Amino acid sequence: MDKAIFAAGCFWGVEAEFAALPGVSATEVGYTGGACERPTYEQVCGHRTGHAEAVQVTFDPAKISYADLVEKFFALHDPTQVNRQGPDIGDQYRSAIFTLSPEQEQTARAIKDKLQQSGRFKKPIATQIESAKTFWRAEDYHQQYFAKKGGGVCHF
């Protein structure tokens, strides 16, 4: 099994999209990319930590590749928006890929570059690609939120 970390706006919808993919064995939502330890939802939403709402995906690379996950990431949100997705505004909703290895970084950059050159997006892709910092698991009530609450969508 391998792991990947993505931030694409509200983590509830992002988690639901990744959890539905064949080859993904687990997902959990949390916070990463910021400066403080053990951030809370209130701190992250208060813009006091620099963390993004993110999803950590556990996957079987024999069933789904990291490249496939990155492609899905770019397909499920607007990567040209800066610090927002739809009605959700703030640095915690930024588009980012937090890589866990040099190979993941190389793959993510190659796919981002390919998409930018494709003309699919009218504006530059704003997605940040950076080495992962500590992933702090979000509070239990955020985990598998849509599965618990009966579906829904965020910005999709």
Per DSSP, the three-state class of 26 is strand
For residue range 44-97, list pLDDT tens digits in order: 988 889 999 999 999 999 999 999 999 999 999 999 999 998 888 889 999 999
**Do 81 and 126 form a contact (C-beta atoms < 8 A)?**
yes
- Asked whether residue 152 carries a pLDDT value surpassing 60, the answer given is no
Structure tokens that stand for 60 in this block: 């079987």
Q: Is 154 a catalytic residue?
A: no
Confidence of residue 153 (pLDDT cuts 50, 70, 90): low
84-121 per-residue burial string, b: 16 or more CB within 10 A, e: under 16:
bbbebeebbbbbbbbbbeeebbebbeebbeebbeeeee
